[in-house]
Structure 1
Amino acid sequence: MYLFIKWKTGIFVMISLILIVCFMKLFLFSYTTQPILLNPGTSHKFYGIMIDAGSTGSRVHVYEFEKLSGSSTPVLLDELFEQTKPGLSSYAEDPKAGAASIEKLLVIAKNRIPQNAWSSTPLALKATAGLRMLPTEQAENLLNEVRVLFNRFPFVLPKNPVMIMDGADEGIYGWITVNYLLDTLGGSGGQFTEGAIDLGGGSMQITFAPHHKSTADIAQTSDLKDVSVFGNKMKIFVHSYLGIGLMSAREAAMNGPKPQELVTVTTACMPQSFKHSWKNGPTEILFEKDLCVWGGNLACRFKFRVLANIQRLHVLAEIRHQPFYVFSYFFDRAAQMKIIDEHKGGEMTVQSFIDAATKTCKDDAFNSEEPFLCMDLCLLASFLEDGFGFASDTKLTSKKTIGGKETSWTLGATFYLIDETS
């Protein structure tokens, strides 16, 4: 009886061991060899990093997206934005220091993204007007130092991760950002989209989807681009004005001082007995009040009316009948003058810029802490009214963010970056 029980117990233990081993093999096989597959109804998160090397500063944007199954349009969940000043172009004589300024931003981006996502996150830097206006050799030296820096970080790099962006691309990317955030990209031919005017430090872009066939017939071929956005094919009008961003327009309106020189310029845009030294990239200017001319707003605006006509800002009559978003320095100055809310943004008219310029360009209203405010407001009013031909009662919208997300061209550029590296 004892032997029978012992034998029976041994058989039970042996069978149990066999079952345990088989179960462990099955578990290990399925765990180590089967891919992690997403169910059709689930989503996954991914990231993208875009650095905007602008004329006045460098900014890093880290975007967190969610890709829903069955949808070609990613959902933007969150974004991180940090910046450093001065801009990369200011390091033309010291490229290594320029790269070091970008490294600070990359460290911030790296700390924001989970480590297990580093190797699948694309990274790119696109420089704008500041580097476009540098001599080719100086610009390339800066870009090469940043390329070396990028290779030390664990992110995915596209074919050309560090580059000077074409002004037209900057306009298209900004237009995509605005309309993505407005959720207006779904219409055929861009018929429900809104136009965008982006005024940076060194250049300005206007972008919109033409609604009338006559526009395409009149426009220059180089200004019409075929783009595909999340499966929707559209024809876009885009023009970039290099050299008439806010900062460069200050120089251009004062007869365009040559780089590397300290020059004195007299202007009707400053009050009596005021002198101010100002530097924009390699150019340094000493502004003085023009004692022979003082007409306040009228005299100052005349300078920018002339500039607007020389630069041929008149594009197409159709823009006067389309809704437009204006951003970057348009937003900054409008918020500063309390034309719109500094946090929420809002709607404004061209006349509101004209009125703000008239109010500010008076000796008794002059603020020495904001010496260029009169000049800038005259510039904005002239570009909109005299350049683009908007009526004074035209309503424009300007917002720093839409749905809590920043209206920067970097988001539109990141969509292309993700597509290129996926």
Structure 2
Amino acid sequence: MPCLARWLVLLTLLSHSAAQENVGIGLDLSVGVEGVLPSLARPANASRIFHGIVFDAGSTGTRIHVYTFIQKDPAELPLLEKETFQSVKPGLSAYADTPETAGETVRQLLRVAKKAVPHVEWERTPVVLRATAGLRLLPPKKAQALLDEVEVAFEESPFFVPDNSVHIMNGTDEGILAWVTVNFLTGQLQAKTKKTVGTLDLGGASTQITFLPKFKKTIESAPPDHIARFDLLSTTYELYTHSYLGNGIKAARLTALGALGAEGLERKVFESSCLSRKFREDWSFGGLTYKISGIPDGSTGFTECYKEMLKVVKGVIHQPPELQDSNTFYAFSYYFDIAVEAGLIDERRGGMVKVQDYSIRAKEVCNKLSMYLATKPFLCMDITYITCLLKDGFGFKDETILKLTQKVNNVETSWALGAIFDYFQNIKIH
């Protein structure tokens, strides 16, 4: 289907409820897609504005993205005019035993959407929630109870609630939709070029890598579930993509400590050489609380810490051969946050770092643990894990440059924008 026709489908979907109510939009939905053009009660050259709302239910927080699109000319693709973004912590999974609280979290963020979307547009603005690894790690019944509370909150809202508006997203879709977001924002998709950029996303419970391979050997040597094809804007893409559940930065802490999936948590203390000998704390993740400490009489420092973190990635992460070459990658989420915490980049501007920059800084932090005990007790563990993940996991060279950013063109670099495209365009992922 031509690009214009696909976007006209988008406009048709957005006008669904308004057309049903005959509120003066003047859009004739009975004609074929190629003939559907918006006919508004406004000047012919006026811009057409529409909205979409995406909730990102992550393992460490819930975020709302309210997107405003503008269609200046029916003969052109719409533009993303702006994004309204807000987040709350903790994530929905923290309310596994009190799911009604999760519903209140969503209601709180829906108030943000009401302010961002004009009242007259509420009934035809779709709202969707996609949950990620935090809920994938929960027992199915507890995860479903949380989703049920979200659905109740959505149905109470004035927004358009499509079928299957609330569900847990699989890791492959998460990686692909983040790739779609970044390549849309950097202009690669509109240009229909093969010069795309790769994406690295590091969440609390999982991590994703996605890129368009340059070499056939990358596809041929990859495990079957690491290659995905999808159609977007009349183009078929064949991506290398995989999500590693349990390899997010918070889950990696627990795996390295031997705490992930452990029983009798109230009686056990999990120790690590990545922590100061004086450190002892109750730490919560995914609705569970763990007793964590340094090793009072044990060795500390980068070398010992690296050995612990290596166990988290060794034999788990596949190494695509072409990552030894000069692929361009955008890295975000905890790649960005930990780089800020470590002083590698400025939080407002982001920046570019080499893989070895994480390694150099990790050695400095881990060999002076007492300096960070009060303010950043996990920094050694986290930055060492990132170093290990990039080098021994994915196989990046020390000299590989990563672009670290929270936003591109003032829009969050998450999978959420890709998710609203998925809703509008029905991206077919194989």
Aligned to 1:142: 146
- 1:122–1:417 CA contact under 8 A, matched in 2: no
For residues 250 and 412 of structure 1, the distance between their equivalents in structure 2, rounded to whole angstroms, comes to 29
For residues 230 and 41 of structure 1, the distance between their equivalents in structure 2, rounded to whole angstroms, comes to 25
Aligned to 1:4: none
Query: Does 2:80 align with 1:65?
Result: no
- 2:61–2:91 CA contact under 8 A, matched in 1: yes
CA offset digits 1:174-227 (Å, max 9, x no partner): 111111111111455x62111001000110000011121222222222222111
The 1:33–1:334 alpha-carbon spacing in structure 2 relative to 1, beyond 3 Å, is closer
CA offset digits 1:369-393 (Å, max 9, x no partner): 2110111011111001111111111
Aligned to 1:54: 58
TM-score normalised by length of structure 2: 0.85
- CA offset at residue 34 of structure 1? 6.5
Alignment RMSD: 2.2
- CA offset at residue 151 of structure 1? 1.2
- 2:265–2:291 CA contact under 8 A, matched in 1: no
**1:139-218 map, 5 Å:** 139-186=143-190, 188=192, 191-218=194-221
SS, match of residue 51 in structure 1: strand
SS, match of residue 101 in structure 2: helix
SS, match of residue 396 in structure 1: strand
The 1:72–1:207 alpha-carbon spacing in structure 2 relative to 1, beyond 3 Å, is farther
For residues 221 and 72 of structure 1, the distance between their equivalents in structure 2, rounded to whole angstroms, comes to 38
SS, match of residue 204 in structure 1: strand
For residues 223 and 351 of structure 2, the distance between their equivalents in structure 1, rounded to whole angstroms, comes to 33
- CA offset at residue 365 of structure 1? 2.9
Aligned to 1:267: 272
SS, match of residue 106 in structure 2: helix
- 2:369–2:380 CA contact under 8 A, matched in 1: no
For residues 389 and 329 of structure 1, the distance between their equivalents in structure 2, rounded to whole angstroms, comes to 19
For residues 125 and 204 of structure 1, the distance between their equivalents in structure 2, rounded to whole angstroms, comes to 20
The 1:162–1:260 alpha-carbon spacing in structure 2 relative to 1, beyond 3 Å, is farther
Matched residues, percent identical?
A: 37
For residues 178 and 303 of structure 1, the distance between their equivalents in structure 2, rounded to whole angstroms, comes to 33
TM-score normalised by length of structure 1: 0.87
CA offset digits 1:19-55 (Å, max 9, x no partner): xxxxxxxxxxxx9897672688653111000001111
For residues 123 and 221 of structure 2, the distance between their equivalents in structure 1, rounded to whole angstroms, comes to 47
Structure 1 counterpart of 2:411, from 402, 405, 414:
405
CA offset digits 1:90-127 (Å, max 9, x no partner): 11111111111111111221222111111211110011
Aligned to 1:243: 246
- CA offset at residue 358 of structure 1? 0.8
Structure 1 counterpart of 2:284, from 259, 279, 283:
279
Aligned to 1:219: 222
For residues 249 and 109 of structure 1, the distance between their equivalents in structure 2, rounded to whole angstroms, comes to 34
Q: Which has the higher mean CA deviation after the structures are superposed, 409-418 or 216-225?
A: 216-225
Aligned to 1:75: 79
Structure 2 counterpart of 1:380, from 381, 386, 391:
386
**1:286-305 map, 5 Å:** 286-305=291-310
- 2:276–2:373 CA contact under 8 A, matched in 1: no
For residues 47 and 130 of structure 2, the distance between their equivalents in structure 1, rounded to whole angstroms, comes to 30
SS, match of residue 352 in structure 2: strand
SS, match of residue 393 in structure 1: coil
Gap regions ≥5 residues in structure 2:
1-22, 28-37
